Amino acid sequence: MASLKELKGRINSVKSTQKITKAKQMVAAAKLRRAQAAAEAARPYAERLSGVMASLAGKVSGDSAPQLLAGNGADQRHLLVVVNTDKGLCGGLNANIVKAAKAKAQGATAVPAGDAAPDGAVAPASGDEKIPSHLLERGTAAADQPVPAAGAPAVPSGNSGPDGHNQRLLTVVKSGSIQDTKATPQDKVHVWPHLLLAEFLAALAITLFSLLFSIFVNAPLLELADFNKTPNPSKAPWYFLGLQELLTMFHPMVAGVTIPGIGLFVLILAPYIDKNPSKRPEDRKFAISLMTVHLMFWSVLVMIGSFFRGPGFNFIFPWNSGLFFEL
């Protein structure tokens, strides 16, 4: 039985195929409307031509009929009306029609009777084979046949069809060779248990690494704190120095609650504002710009609190007064 992910992929594939077929249907409808308009525009011409032909047919009989229309009974001259196509995707149809017209005009009379398959041809196969083998052989023979010189009568080959026309097969498309158009399914997983399980394993690995690091690596502590002696300058850990720096500029409610709250709220909204699933940086300009501004703002505050604050948490230049910073 197919999994939920595979079923979603199939549903997305069907929806994508529906979009393609709908677009093709709209194109076909537009072409049909143009063809219908062209047919309606040709009705006056057809009616007029029908009247002309009826008038000519009425003038053929009788002694007063023009000789050009009534004829004189001789058959030395013939009129050939050759009709070709004005569209593509018809293979060698136009060339074969011209060759047949030339052969007819030059008196070629070798015309096979019927559309029988040549000797040795295999009957059409059953099942998925929809194309008779004798048509395949005709297409091969027609492609290999040399073009007759100008003025020379065209001799129909043994694989010719009715009226000496060569039947050439352009492409053979076997059953099942055309694959359905499928859109790339988006990988979506549930938060539980997939995402939370991965995050739990990552947190467990980091905790284990920190435990082993603290056991085997000697990290000397500072001297014990003396509550009678306040260190000067008194600085928060480096990851809180940004907040301490904001406290020197704004009211504690603004520095400790409002500004950090706005920053966290904007970061929470970022995935809902920028919904682009792409992983390319040029496609995620909003998210990258937001995180860059956030990190640069916080990094500047931490650097000022670490290196440019001295005794009394006053602003100093470290190259003049030294560094007052401890990890």
Lowest average pLDDT, out of 62-66, 191-195, 315-319, goes to 62-66
- Which pLDDT score is estimated for 318? 83
Considering the domain architecture, whether residues 274 and 325 belong to the same structural domain is answered as yes
Which of the pair, 169 or 30, is modelled with greater confidence?
30
With respect to residue 225, please indicate whether it lies within any of the assigned structural domains.
no
- From residue 204, give the alpha-carbon distance in Å to each of 90, 198, 215: 69, 10, 17
CA–CA distance, 64 with 70 (Å, rounded to integer):
9
Nearest to 269 by CA among 291, 253, 254: 291
With respect to residue 314, please indicate whether it lies within any of the assigned structural domains.
yes
- From residue 317, give the alpha-carbon distance in Å to each of 179, 238, 267, 308: 70, 18, 34, 6
CA–CA distance, 25 with 33 (Å, rounded to integer):
12
pTM score over 0.85: no
Task: Decide: 12 and 183 in contact? Cβ < 8 Å.
Answer: yes
CA–CA distance, 292 with 303 (Å, rounded to integer):
16
CA–CA distance, 234 with 247 (Å, rounded to integer):
14
Whole domain around residue 156: which residue ranges?
Answer: 92-111+130-175
Provide mean pLDDT across the span 283-309.
89
With respect to residue 289, please indicate whether it lies within any of the assigned structural domains.
yes
- Which pLDDT score is estimated for 135? 52
CA–CA distance, 93 with 102 (Å, rounded to integer):
14
Backbone angles phi, psi at 315, to 5 degrees: -80, 130
With respect to residue 237, please indicate whether it lies within any of the assigned structural domains.
yes
Residues 6+ apart with CB under 8 A from 293: none
Considering the domain architecture, whether residues 244 and 302 belong to the same structural domain is answered as yes
pLDDT tens digits, 129-142: 445 565 556 555 55
Pair of tokens at residue 145: 């046949």
- Which pLDDT score is estimated for 136? 53
Among 19-33, 76-90, 154-168, 251-265, which range has the highest average pLDDT? 251-265
With respect to residue 51, please indicate whether it lies within any of the assigned structural domains.
no
pLDDT tens digits, 67-114: 766 777 777 777 788 888 877 777 788 889 888 888 888 874 444 444
Considering the domain architecture, whether residues 288 and 247 belong to the same structural domain is answered as yes
- Which pLDDT score is estimated for 145? 55
With respect to residue 7, please indicate whether it lies within any of the assigned structural domains.
yes
pLDDT at residue 217 is higher than 50? yes
Considering the domain architecture, whether residues 291 and 209 belong to the same structural domain is answered as no
Distance from the Cα of residue 285 to its chain's centroid: 23
- Which pLDDT score is estimated for 159? 46
Number of independent structural domains in the chain: 4
DSSP β-bridge partners for residue 315: 309
With respect to residue 267, please indicate whether it lies within any of the assigned structural domains.
yes
Backbone angles phi, psi at 22, to 5 degrees: -65, -40
Considering the domain architecture, whether residues 325 and 242 belong to the same structural domain is answered as yes
Considering the domain architecture, whether residues 214 and 250 belong to the same structural domain is answered as no
Considering the domain architecture, whether residues 209 and 244 belong to the same structural domain is answered as no
CA–CA distance, 180 with 13 (Å, rounded to integer):
8
With respect to residue 67, please indicate whether it lies within any of the assigned structural domains.
no
